[in-house]
Structure 1
Amino acid sequence: MAIIINIDVMLAKRKMSVTELSERVGITMANLSILKNGKAKAIRVSTLNAICEALDCQPGDLLEYRSDDVEAEE
């Protein structure tokens, strides 16, 4: 997938646990894990908004685009 979700990076920067983020955002640990591990097919804008609010960040801090060519090289 060409979109990388960097929730783990922001969690580390904010010194916040996955459990705490899950509680603040109101999504299950399972769904947060799916996002964190790059297995999600979609994310609601309201969920992205809640994550950004909880982590005090911008969507661009969480989302990164990598072309499929770059992924193949890695």
Structure 2
Amino acid sequence: MTPPAADEGPSGIHCRLDELLEERGMTLTRLSELVGVSVVNLSVLKNDRARAIRYSTLSAICRALECEVGDLLVRES
């Protein structure tokens, strides 16, 4: 059996953006304004549909949410 290609199926990585926004009382729209990324693209990330993320975007999100990368992205077991 051939393993699935990297762009097929779930990645095993979960984005905790929803939880972090709720904890901070921040909306996706406000985060979008702070980091300069569209609400649509942040929504894709939030819903675990992103296939990639730029380090600069990841850094900007973590800065705006005052969190570490490991707080935002976790490996699902």
TM range (shorter): 0.7 to 0.9
Pair 1:28 & 2:38 matched: yes
Pair 1:9 & 2:2 matched: no
Q: Which residue of 1 aligns with 2:56?
A: 46
Consecutive unaligned residues in structure 2, runs of 5 or more: 1-9
Q: Which residue of 2 aligns with 1:60?
A: 70
CA RMSD of aligned residues (A): 0.7
Which structure: larger Rg?
2
Identity of aligned residues (%): 52
What one-letter code is carried by the residue in structure 2 that aligns with 1:22?
S
Hey, which bits of structure 1, 4+ residues long, moved more than 4 A? none
Q: Which residue of 1 aligns with 2:3?
A: none
Normalising to structure 2: TM-score of the pair? 0.84
Normalising to structure 1: TM-score of the pair? 0.87
Count of residues paired in the alignment = 67
Higher relative contact order, structure no. (Cα contacts within 8 Å, ≥ 6 residues apart): 1
